[in-house]
Amino acid sequence: MKVKVFMNTAGHAHEFELLRRFGHGIETEFAKIKKPKEFLSFDHTVTKGTSNSVEYIYGTDYQPCDVAIMFGSWKDRKNPHHVIRNAIAEKARTFVCIETPLLTREVFRPNKYYRVGVNGFLNNSAYWNSVNSPAVRFEEVMGLSWKGWAENVNQRDEILIGMQLAGDASLRNNNINEWIIDTITRIRQFTDKPIRIRTHPGISDRGWENYSDLFRNIAFGEHGDIRWSNGREKPWEDDIVNACCVVTYSSGLSIDAILAGVPVIATDPGNFAYNISSNFAEEINDPKQEDPELVMQWLYNLAYCQWSEEEMFSGTCWRHLQDAIKKSQKAQKELSKFEYELAEDDNETLDIDESDNEQDS
């Protein structure tokens, strides 16, 4: 298996180091393998007995490989790290994407864990190998717990809407300003409860300009009682404690809310809370409070979607991803077969058409 670590997908020094350490973990695992097993190569042929290798790539062009390793999600930007990320997402048949964590997130502090998925970074766009995961990682390794849904949460005063950074990759081309206005308009069909909009803590001083249309609409529109929280200054815990429901597009705030016992309306399937939450404004007065056993299993699964730097360095993360990589390779093999058969069908159709034309002439 040929693995290539694309170093320039990193944007900061600690990300470069994380990629190097991930590569070291893969090399450690490869060193344990005496007889390489059968695998699907990047040209979609099945190969036996081929040596395993890890190569570190420092350019901004994609180079074919069996598995590409990249840091970060991809956006339509001209920065070198986005150029190579986009090339990998477009051309690589199987790639590993390292992103921000889902659990134990701390704003403006180094991450203890990183989300690691195969072929994506969102809920419904990646292989995670995390179905029916055991409790040990969530409870013992991460030291987390869930106390259930908050008592009398439906009687709280506010609805909390979580903003996201304009143009963020997790929005998948949706306009966050338009989404918030549309969401408020829909909510107002069912309740006049105060709505608090929490800005993203990562907004830069210059970034506020991206929300001028939203601020203008809220200031001069008729949206009822709208309140604001500056996410750069106010901890999310202080906002959630007064919320009867948290509404997000694909924000990680939805996970924080459920951990705090607050139900969520998650409106995009890329949201990791989508499958256990309400998804539409019509449910704002009675948002889903999923069965606690299902919520616990969901949390256990999330714990196996993210890995520490030490687990990457030791190869533990790479070992966990093997089933996800195999699923990706199997899917790509089937896709390649389908594409080949489709091309053959097109050729046959073309031959028939040419024959008909000759007869007509």
pLDDT above 80: residue 338: no
Q: What is the DSSP string of 206-247?
A: GGGGGGHHHHHHHHHS--SSEEEE-TTTS-HHHHHTTEEEEE
CA angle 183, 273, 126 (to 5 degrees): 110
pLDDT above 70: residue 282: yes
In DSSP terms, which residues pair with 161 in a beta bridge? 197, 247
For residue range 106-133, what is the model confidence (pLDDT) as tens digits? 877 889 999 999 999 999 999 999 999 9
Q: 153-288, which class in CATH?
A: alpha beta
Q: What is the DSSP string of 240-269?
A: HTTEEEEEESS-THHHHHHHTT--EEE-ST
Contacts of 106 (CB under 8 A, 6+ apart): 112
CA distance 155 to 344: 63
Phi, psi of 186 (to 5 degrees): -70, -40
Q: For the whole model, what pTM was predicted?
A: 0.88
Coil, strand or helix at 31: helix
Residue 189: count of CB within 10 angstroms of its CB: 9
pLDDT above 50: residue 322: yes
CA angle 42, 43, 44 (to 5 degrees): 90
Strands 53-57 and 67-71: unpaired
pLDDT above 90: residue 339: no
Tell me if 47 sits within 8 A of 118, measured CB to CB.
Answer: no
Contacts of 168 (CB under 8 A, 6+ apart): 75, 176
The upper half-sphere exposure of residue 292, i.e. CA atoms within 13 Å in the direction of its Cβ, equals 7
Of the pLDDT bands very low, low, confident and very high (cuts 50, 70, 90), residue 352 is very low
pLDDT over 90 percentage in the chain: 83
For residue range 124-181, what is the model confidence (pLDDT) as tens digits? 999 999 999 999 999 999 999 999 999 999 999 999 999 999 999 999 999 999 999 9
* pLDDT, position 258: 98
For residue range 17-65, what is the model confidence (pLDDT) as tens digits? 999 999 999 999 999 986 655 555 555 555 555 689 999 999 999 999 9
Environment class of residue 183 by beta-carbon count within 10 Å: exposed (0-12), middle (13-18) or buried (19+)?
buried
CA distance 203 to 230: 10
Phi, psi of 71 (to 5 degrees): -110, 130
Radius of gyration of the chain (CA): 24
For residue range 201-246, what is the model confidence (pLDDT) as tens digits? 999 999 999 999 999 999 999 999 999 999 999 999 999 999 999 9
